[in-house]
Amino acid sequence: MTSHTFAAAGPLRGTIRVPGDKSISHRSLMFAGLAVGRSRITGLLEGEDVLATAAAMRAFGAQIAREGDGTWVVDGVGVGSLLEPAQALDMGNSGTSTRLLMGLVASHAITATFTGDASLSGRPMKRVIDPLSLMGASFEASAGGTLPLMLRGASPAVPITYRLPVASAQVKSAVLLAGLNTPGITRVIEPVATRDHTERMLTGFGAKLEVGEEGGETVIAIHGEADLKPMDVVVPGDPSSAAFFMVAASIVPGSDLTILNVGLNPTRAGLLQVLRQMGADIAEVNPREVGGEPVADLRVRHAPLTGIDVDPAIAPAMIDEFPVLFVAAALAQGTTRTTGLEELRVKESDRLAAMAAALTLAGARVEEHDDGLTIHGTGGEPLSGTPAGADVATRLDHRIAMSMAVAGLVSRSGVSIDDTSPINTSFPTFMGLMAEASAA
């Protein structure tokens, strides 16, 4: 365990770049591996989950290499031409890799075995097995529909129209990927919108894909036996990582910080909307589209924030950003109320309980409810906990650790984090960027 104390260190200034978006990193490797020809990917998030996807695509026959400057070069194998892996595919802890790659295999005449670590092996795969079985794939899974599992793909697979029983971008993506090599048109009906990175990027790689609406529900149709064309992908910065610096620069007086190349996909940009409602000064500089994804540089300047009632309908577009929003609320003028956040109790930790306890230790006034927090802000005054500072238990949760690091920047006596090592799972450069921006 590596403990660290974060304390007020002056305004955040200069220009920083946050790591690449994880969801888009996975998909760029998969789709480039399915294209015929050479794609180049820059800004890839080189975490363990994404590297598991790269290893699997190599096992299917794609050639994938990292160049010295950090660019990844992918020579694809082509839709319909996947090789049968010589051994089991170890997915580590990556649910995204597993569910999307199951979709890929389901419409190819190959057999693949998927394994994972203890955590991944406890996660439900039945939500993907059900629709892929309807398309003709067959499965031998562990008890409860979990990993390890063996999948025999169908060739030809059968196109289906599938209504998602759970709001899941991974299940949607698995069915669409199976549809790539299925004759005819495969449709997914989505009652509740989920992140749409798959649809945007598949279109960029040349798939024929239509998104429409029927009876208030989104219908996504993909035309099978697709030929994907290679594409150069610039992975946008992860909005969930940028969130910590957006809040820090908003609440630390004198700050003027630019965060380069942040993905602003509307299904992920809820925090930006909420901070602006509270009065944040965040300008989108050089807005552009990269690989079908909206991107901009964000210039964030300190501004007085005002408490609001956060609309629960926005929760899906910022579910991972609530811990750091709670920190912003603690410095606002007046009261911020959040509701509809039961999902936060079943993340890496119970994030409602963990943040209520941590912020209270740091000197914030917080009331915890079943489905959210009510926070009475200081009106911009620094948080005043005990003179010795707050010792915060992060419960091995990277987002709790980073959120309370931000709180330390506006604290009279500092915030000590019991363990900073979990931060590396999603944002290995966080500590360095924080020090760099504070010293600029």
Identity of the residue numbered 355: M
187 vs 403: CA distance, rounded Å: 40
The answer to whether the annotation marks 229 as part of a ligand binding site is no
Q: Which two structure tokens, joined as six digits, stand for 172?
A: 């949607």
- Using only C-alpha atoms, the chain has a radius of gyration, in whole angstroms, of 22
The CA dihedral of 202, 203, 207, 208, to the nearest 10 degrees, is 140
The answer to whether the annotation marks 351 as part of a ligand binding site is yes
For residues 298 and 246, is the Cβ–Cβ distance under 8 A?
Answer: yes
The answer to whether the annotation marks 40 as part of a ligand binding site is no
Give the catalytic positions in this structure.
320
For residues 419 and 354, is the Cβ–Cβ distance under 8 A?
Answer: no
The answer to whether the annotation marks 66 as part of a ligand binding site is no
For residues 108 and 179, is the Cβ–Cβ distance under 8 A?
Answer: no
- Measured at the CA of 200, the angle between CA 78 and CA 216, to 5 degrees, comes to 125
60 vs 91: CA distance, rounded Å: 14
The answer to whether the annotation marks 22 as part of a ligand binding site is yes
For residues 18 and 241, is the Cβ–Cβ distance under 8 A?
Answer: yes
The answer to whether the annotation marks 126 as part of a ligand binding site is no
The answer to whether the annotation marks 365 as part of a ligand binding site is no
For residues 154 and 102, is the Cβ–Cβ distance under 8 A?
Answer: no
Residue 32 gets the label, from left (phi > 0), alpha (psi -120 to 50) or beta, of alpha
Tell me whether strands 89-90 and 111-115 are parallel, antiparallel or unpaired. parallel
The answer to whether the annotation marks 320 as part of a ligand binding site is yes
The answer to whether the annotation marks 412 as part of a ligand binding site is no
The answer to whether the annotation marks 384 as part of a ligand binding site is no
The answer to whether the annotation marks 39 as part of a ligand binding site is no
Residue numbers belonging to the annotated binding site for phosphoenolpyruvate? 22, 95, 123, 170, 351, 399
Q: Point out the annotated binding site.
A: 22-23, 27, 95, 123, 168, 170, 320, 347, 351, 399
Provide the annotated binding site for 3-phosphoshikimate: 22-23, 27, 168, 170, 320, 347
